[in-house]
Amino acid sequence: MGRRIGLLLLFIFLSLKDVFSQNNRAIDANHIGWNAFFLNYALNDKWSMHGEFQWRRTEFIKKPQQNLYRTGLNLKLNPSVIFRFGYLYADTFNYGQIPISSLGMEFPEHRTYQMFTLNNPIGRIQVSHRFMLEQRWLGSFSDKTLERPDDYVYLNRARYMARIDIPLKGTTIGNGIPYIAAYDELMIGFGKNVNQNVFDQNRIGILTGYRFSNQIRVEGGYFNQIVQLGRLVEGKNVFQGNRGYIINTYFNF
């Protein structure tokens, strides 16, 4: 399993290296800060409710990048496998030198999703895999004078994330135990409206964390996001290279 994860991450790295080596690429670099809050409320041994808010900023914290709200229902199929389905709403703002929207406008997004998470401990290392399918409706404007989108573009996206968590003392991550974590997530668009960004995003996080109790866990660290825009600008594919910090706070009840 570990060898397969290593080969996948090597493939992602080589693919991204090839992407940025082309002459027809334009790069828009931004400093970002992501602040996320996750809530899980258990209904019984198998079912639980998920709530989430992410406050995403540019210039680390000064300007908005995106506000994201996600909800879902979890089903624990067994101790190692969790299935979730749910709904998401997001507002994406005009940020960076080359905005995502061609008109440079804030736009809304509605999304439904289905997700599987597989946990596979290897000794003291906790390895997890997350597979997600998303159905996305992105608001679009035909004119900058409009206050609301007059159309929605439908997109599909597949996501895969591999993550490892390692306790800094002992063999498991329990209460009062610090840990380190790292993950890589690849996002691929598909369907007739994908346009330029079949490769949609790649995200890398390197974190340190601490579990205060069964109810509260906090982690934070370095975060790198690469985003390909779904349109050409002056005949070039545009990639955002966003780097900064990420802080995740988890509440479990």
pLDDT one-digit tens code per residue, 91-135: 999 999 999 998 999 999 999 999 999 999 999 999 999 999 999
Contact 72, 86 (CB under 8 A): yes
Can you give the residue range of the structural domain that contains 189? 2-252
Q: What is the DSSP string of 106-164?
A: -EEEEEEEEEEEEEEEETTEEEEEEEEEEEEEEEE-SSTT-SS-SEEEEEEEEEEEEEE
pLDDT at 24 over 90: no
pLDDT at res. 235: 85
Torsion of CA 77, 162, 71, 212, to 10 degrees: 90
94 CB-side CA count, 13 A = 7
The separation between CA 124 and the C-alpha centre of its own chain, rounded to angstroms, equals 26
pLDDT at res. 197: 74
Tally of CB atoms within 10 A around 172: 11
Contacts of 138 (CB under 8 A, 6+ apart): 107, 108, 109, 152, 153, 155
pLDDT at 233 over 70: yes
Q: What value does the mean pLDDT of the chain take?
A: 92
What is the domain-level CATH number for residue 210?
2.40.160
pLDDT at res. 202: 98
Burial 115-146 (b: 16+ CB within 10 A, else e): bebeeeeeeeebbbebebebebbbbbbeeeee
68 CB-side CA count, 13 A = 17
pLDDT in tens, 135-193: 999 999 999 999 999 999 999 999 999 999 999 999 999 999 999 999 999 999 999 88
pLDDT at res. 122: 93
Q: Give the count of domains, the chain.
A: 1
217: left (phi over 0), alpha (psi -120 to 50) or beta: beta
Tokens in use for 170?
Answer: 């002992």
pLDDT at 78 over 80: yes
